[in-house]
Structure 1
């Protein structure tokens, strides 16, 4: 319940900060205005319109990245705060032979997967329509699917860290925050990866935010432009 309320708060807060219509621009080039033969005679009004649209597209890109970053951090943090306690209870009950490891794992999955899907889907729906993204069933479906994947991957990372540091609750929390900050910085937005060393670029392939960010950009920008130009 707390996670769902917090995700709703983040969704409305991001929508308010970036604007309710930040996603209205598609980012596609206007071939009429960018034609070299017309560039000299383009009016000041058209030039200002291009600058305004470019600014809206940049703000939308920022929104898409921070949206997934916030959801990923919240999902991983909630798992880290709960999972170490669950592990200690599980180990005590497992020693008493109350149930097997597989029974605990599958029951945990069956309980958490529907809840995660509902929360992530609600979050994606609010973000998609409250920020004025271009309404399209294909874009909306894949947008929601990407958000759900972020929530699942973040939960998995939180479970992994919780297992590795199950004996030290404080260390698990610290390592989780440090790892997510690394994932965030290597996500392809906060740091320009093309100017980094080969080692840093190789590490960036371990950031799930990077692949999610690129896929969301393809859905919201590249796919629309490619369809319209054909």
Structure 2
């Protein structure tokens, strides 16, 4: 795989970027204040600053992951950045990039290759590219290891490999050395350096790099409370700070020195550094970047972060993911109720009637789909704790007025409407009618008198004697499924909107 294909100089520049969010009450909290700078290809650039300085926020804005509430100018190679085009030219590897733990490293790359590469690449070529990336990132020995059993450094290198499949010219990394030991951190930054040397524009955030890592950086941007103290070559950083009155002690780690200055440990005023940095960048007319990504568009919350990352890195659209998950779940949705029904139906001595089995199987399958979809909606719209609470709170009223605990005719008038929308009632009533309705012969009685020997009497006791109600209940389950699927799509779209 040729990773040195970028011959022309690439550059992303930004002028007077500001970003704010809603704070306490009606006040807005400004995270970035008139941030300006530029990053070029062939050079490894890092954004430095203490915690809360705005490093990750700036990276989110530059990569296009955050576009709402952003003011300023962002240009790519001297032209205004077009978000849809830039998404195809860039990738963003987050600090804790979500990967599916049950897949091996090679399987993860192969799935990504099939999603991201077009039909011009056949299966042989895709497998060849996977092998080349594994070799490039030193992952050959872990190619058949499950992701859940890989080390932190190996998972981070694998996340880089996923984006190398499309060979993007702009690469953004959020805290790539987070959670790694010193040796693994150096190895990680060495890989980033090799990507930059191959002609890419590589930008990362680093919290507290060692002197060895700092020496590998070509450019740095220093942030303090959302403002730029310096943006330029690494070898000019110390002189720039000295001109502002901040002298770096001899043999002192320059990264530690910069962070101490940005944390106000070496002085109370950084105004001269801020003004000096701004004077190096030509001001341009700010404009609002509030346009959303034009995509047409987490399963169960475990896949939510995977979906967000892959979609925002332009792997697939929301519609493709939604309908793909819808179809991929069908086999399991058929297998589970079928296995349950084949065991329970005949173990309870029900009649060997094909029609009854099919009707009951249909009800079980619809209820399975409904339950799974409801869980997906809660997972997509809420966090784990809130989702569990909302599901329980919304299901209890439906369960109480399903006709199982209380006869439908005994439900108070002002609560009867709950029984008309209860999906538990639809499932319970249709199952009972399928088992005991449609002229089922008398039940076998082992004692002289059985009160419910006639199935019809049993149905009347439950207020479910109307056999036409079976299909009404089935229609009710189908309606619930359609509404929940629509809610799932809306929840996923809302989650994408919120992520931006």
Smaller-chain TM-score bracket: 0.5 to 0.7
Residue equivalent to 2:389: 174
Q: Which has the larger radius of gyration?
A: 2
1:161 aligned to which of 343, 361, 378? 378
Shift, 1:218, TM fit: 1.4
Shift, 1:121, TM fit: 0.9
Gapped regions of structure 1 (runs ≥ 5):
1-80
Shift, 1:172, TM fit: 0.5
User: Which stretch shifts more, 141-150 or 196-205?
Assistant: 196-205
Shift, 1:226, TM fit: 8.4
1:133 has 2:344 as partner: no
Normalization by structure 2: what TM-score?
A: 0.28
Residue equivalent to 1:122: 339
Residue equivalent to 1:144: 361
The 8 Å contact of residues 188 and 210 in structure 1, kept in 2 or not, is answered as yes
Where do 1:59-208 residues align within 5 Å?
83-165=300-382, 168-208=383-423
User: Which stretch shifts more, 172-181 or 129-138?
Assistant: 172-181
The 8 Å contact of residues 120 and 148 in structure 1, kept in 2 or not, is answered as yes
The 8 Å contact of residues 310 and 316 in structure 2, kept in 1 or not, is answered as yes
The 8 Å contact of residues 378 and 387 in structure 2, kept in 1 or not, is answered as yes
Residue equivalent to 1:219: 434
Q: Distance in 2 between matches of 1:92 and 1:158?
A: 21
The 8 Å contact of residues 299 and 325 in structure 2, kept in 1 or not, is answered as no
**Root-mean-square deviation (CA), in Å?**
2.4
Q: Distance in 1 between matches of 2:355 and 2:376?
A: 32
Q: Distance in 2 between matches of 1:207 and 1:156?
A: 16
Shift, 1:138, TM fit: 0.9
The 8 Å contact of residues 117 and 148 in structure 1, kept in 2 or not, is answered as yes
Q: Say how many residue pairs are matched.
A: 147
- SS of residue matched to 1:224: coil
Q: Distance in 2 between matches of 1:150 and 1:102?
A: 24
Residue equivalent to 2:138: none
Shift, 1:126, TM fit: 0.9
Q: Distance in 1 between matches of 2:299 and 2:397?
A: 22
Shift, 1:162, TM fit: 2.0
Q: Distance in 2 between matches of 1:199 and 1:84?
A: 37
The 8 Å contact of residues 193 and 200 in structure 1, kept in 2 or not, is answered as no
CA deviation profile, 1:109-150 (whole Å, cap 9, x unmatched): 121111110111111111111111121111111111111111
Q: Which has the higher strand share?
A: 2
CA deviation profile, 1:66-118 (whole Å, cap 9, x unmatched): xxxxxxxxxxxxxxx96122122211221111111011112111211111101
